[in-house]
């Protein structure tokens, strides 16, 4: 089988099940691809090649197990997810030497499904960034153009999937950190409903916003991975016991888009949207109409407040979550200290990067006495209004569509001096996290000027990932999947 690494997860899982490919062959193909492409894209922070090959050999010797849907399939995971015996740094120097003694729930589920984990993906430090330039170790580069960013904070995961280093990766999405890099790198990125996937073993950024989801090369691949990681986990108090749908059956049940109502928010299709992004997204909507969908104009009036609300809520929660990394209980401990106060100050000064410090300070400020009511409480109230906007919109439509990002991937360093400008580019993704709803980024073409991938974002009702996946699957079948970038 030529170019094993270039196949989709579904294709590889199928030929493995048919006995035409071994787990070791699939694993070696991805490892060789990773070794050849990693100097250019730098998507990884840790690898476990020897262990992965040993696991693949043991699986081949034991024989194929049909009860494991990802048997023998090599994958990667974002370095914010705990992995037993493998460093979990969150892209930060403060956790440089942290090696967990347990697996995150989703990592455990991947292993139980038979997948082989090749390593940990690079990321913006503590998931705070939109370009994977904020990693404490090195930036990651976009496989389509290594002069450009892959998006973030799950940029390492998106780049790894797009480059053929693995067949799927797990990322995390706090304000668009799965969907935006998926859009920039031309792959499928799914952010499930809040509570659909357990966050046990994930190092938290914004606890009421974070959600784990897959990045893959096809919608069917995303459905397969979600089927493995979704479900109730009693160790996560925010994890829902809502029944898990049969996502693959949902894909098979829809042949076209007849009867589907697609809402187009006026706020997502106006000022600030680049023409090279709007054009392929409009073409995808036109194709959806040809396939039987009905287009409905809707409004999400409070989305204009989403950026302000998100950065108040997220930074406040980050300030609280990252307080544990103090050089005493956990994390890097400075050697340049004489007093207890010095220990705290120096350890956090040395361990945290500039962006993390900025967000901790802003979060502490909005939670401080005298400012809590003016900022955090008000943000929580507007957050509820944003969710109500979605509830009203979904009375008129089944899914909502808009661009995943107002622009395509920018060049490395182009926005590093203006963090506020980068914050504002999350305008189309952030509202979904505030409302706790599911969203999917589907590659629909490339920009006419940049030649970079463009993603259409599909937003759905709570726990209705089936409609999102089945609709995206139909569109994908008619639009086609992007070719693998030349590296």
Give catalytic residue positions.
78, 153, 177
Contact 271, 250 (CB under 8 A): no
Residue 217: DSSP 8-state: S
User: Could you give the residue ranges of the DSSP H alpha helices within 74-168?
Assistant: 105-112, 155-163
Burial class (CB in 10 A: 0-12, 13-18, 19+), 255: exposed
Q: What does the buried/exposed string (b/e) look like for 46-71 if buried means 16 or more CB atoms within 10 Å of the residue's CB?
A: bbbbeebbebbeebbeeebeeebbbb
Separation CA 179–CA 173 (nearest Å): 8
Non-local (6+) Cβ contacts of 51 within 8 A are none
Q: Which residues pair with 148 in a beta bridge?
A: 411
Separation CA 58–CA 299 (nearest Å): 55
- Tell me how far apart the terminal alpha carbons of the chain are, to the nearest angstrom: 20
Task: Name the token pair of 212.
Answer: 């784990």
C-alpha distances out from residue 310 to 121, 245, 304, Å: 25, 30, 11
Q: Which residues pair with 441 in a beta bridge?
A: 189, 457
Q: How many CB atoms lie within 10 A of CB 416?
A: 16
Q: How many CB atoms lie within 10 A of CB 417?
A: 8
Contact 363, 411 (CB under 8 A): no
Residues in the chain: 487
Contact 134, 152 (CB under 8 A): yes
């Amino acid at each position: 089988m030529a170019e094993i690494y270039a196949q989709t997860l579904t294709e590889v899982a199928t030929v493995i099940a048919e006995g035409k490919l071994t787990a070791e062959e699939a694993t070696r193909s991805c490892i060789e691809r990773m070794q050849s492409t990693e100097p250019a894209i730098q998507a990884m922070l840790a690898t476990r090649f020897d262990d992965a090959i040993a696991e693949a050999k043991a699986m081949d010797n034991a024989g194929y197990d049909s009860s494991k849907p990802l048997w023998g399939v090599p994958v990667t995971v974002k370095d914010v997810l705990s992995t037993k015996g493998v460093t979990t740094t969150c892209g930060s120097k403060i956790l440089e030497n942290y090696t967990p003694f347990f697996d995150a729930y989703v990592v455990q589920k991947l292993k139980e499904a038979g997948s082989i984990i090749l390593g940990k993906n690079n990321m913006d430090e503590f998931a705070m960034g939109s370009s994977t330039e904020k990693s404490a170790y090195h930036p990651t580069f976009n496989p389509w153009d290594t002069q450009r960013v892959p998006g973030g904070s799950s940029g390492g995961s998106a780049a790894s999937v797009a480059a053929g280093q693995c067949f799927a990766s797990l990322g995390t999405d706090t304000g668009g950190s799965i969907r935006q890099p998926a859009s920039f790198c031309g792959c499928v990125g799914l952010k499930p409903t809040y509570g659909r996937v357990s966050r046990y073993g994930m190092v938290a950024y914004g606890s009421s916003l974070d959600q784990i989801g897959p990045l893959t090369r096809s919608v069917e691949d995303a459905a397969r991975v979600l089927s493995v990681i979704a479900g109730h986990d009693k160790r996560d108090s925010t994890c829902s016991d809502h029944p898990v749908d049969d996502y693959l059956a949902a894909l098979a049940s829809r042949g076209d888009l007849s009867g589907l109502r697609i809402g187009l928010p006026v706020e997502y299709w106006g000022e600030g949207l680049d023409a090279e992004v709007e054009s392929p997204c409009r073409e995808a909507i036109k194709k959806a109409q040809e396939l039987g969908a009905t287009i409905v104009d809707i409004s999400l009036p409070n989305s204009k407040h989403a950026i302000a609300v998100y950065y108040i809520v997220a930074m406040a929660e980050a300030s609280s979550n990252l307080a544990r990394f103090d050089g005493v209980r956990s994390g890097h401990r400075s050697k340049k200290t004489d007093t207890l106060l010095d220990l705290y100050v120096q350890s956090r000064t040395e361990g945290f990067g500039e962006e993390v410090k900025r967000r901790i300070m802003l979060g502490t400020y909005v939670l401080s006495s005298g400012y809590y009511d003016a900022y955090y409480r008000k943000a929580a109230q507007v957050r509820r209004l944003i969710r109500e906007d979605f509830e009203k919109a979904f009375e008129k439509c089944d899914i909502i569509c808009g661009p995943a990002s107002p622009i395509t991937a920018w060049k490395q360093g182009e926005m590093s001096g203006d963090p506020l400008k980068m914050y504002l580019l999350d305008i189309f993704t952030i509202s979904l996290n505030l409302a706790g709803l599911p969203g999917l980024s589907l590659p629909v073409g490339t920009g006419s000027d940049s030649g970079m991938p463009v993603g259409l974002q599909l937003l759905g009702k709570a726990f209705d990932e089936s409609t999102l996946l089945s609709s995206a699957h139909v569109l994908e079948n008619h639009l086609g999947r992007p070719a693998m970038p030349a590296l």
